[in-house]
Amino acid sequence: MRATSLLDAYRLVPVVALDAADQAVPLARALVEGGIACIEVTLRTDAALDAIQAIAEKVPGMTVGAGTIKTVQDIGRAVSAGARFLVSPGTTTELLDEAENWEPPLLPGAATASECMALELRGYTRIKCFPAHSPTGLAFISAMAGPMPALSFCPSGGVNLGNFREYLALPNVFAVSGSFLAPPDLIAAGAFDDITNLARQCTALLSAPDP
C-alpha cells in the first residue's frame, strides 16, 4: 500500500533508538498508557530488530514500525522482525522498488519539491519531511499544498514539544514524529512513568486550540 491510511490513525509518532532490547516493552507499554499507540524504532542500534520483535509480540496495543530504512536488506530484516510500517530518511530507486514487494507500507523521506514530485509519480501520498525544522520547514510544507494538494506530510527532525502543534496545524500534515515524545535520557534512566506523563501531556495538547 503506497497511499496507505495506516499512519493516518496516529498524530504522534515517537522515534527511538534503543541501546538494549529489554527497554522496548516497558517503553511501548508506557506510551500506550499515555495515549500513544504508534512507535518508530530506528535501525541505528544493534538492539533495534530485537526491540521491534519484542514490541510486536508483547504489546498488542502498539503499532511498531522500523525507521532509518536505507537499504533493500533493511526492509526484509525489519518486516521479518514484525515491523508494520517502514520509514526512510530519504529515497532511492532501489529502495522504492524493493518496498513494492512487501506488505508493510513505506513512508519515504523527502526534503525538496523535486523529491516530492518523484514520489507522487510513484504513487506515494504520505511523505516524511526530513529534516523538517529548518528556516523554511513550515513554509516548505505549507507551500507544497498548492502544487501538490494530494500529498500529506509527517515532519521529523527538529520537531519538539514547543513546535509540534505548529506543524499539526497545517492541513497537509497528518502526523509529526520525533524523539521528544520519548526522550533518550528518560529511556536510559528507565523513567517510564515520566514518559507516560509526557505522552499524556502531548495527547492532551492535540485537542487544545490551534497555536
Catalytic entry in 40, 98, 100, 103: 40
Which is the catalytic residue, given 58, 100, 103, 128?
A: 128
Residues 6+ apart with CB under 8 A from 72: 94, 95, 98
**Residue 190 Cα distances to 44, 187, 205, angstroms:** 20, 5, 25
58 annotated active-site:
no
Q: How far apart are the C-alpha atoms of 108 and 154, rounded to whole Å?
A: 10
> How far is it, in rounded angstroms, from Cα 157 to Cα 184?
15
CA nearest to 197, candidates 186, 206, 211: 186
166 is catalytic: no
What residues are annotated to the active site? 40, 128
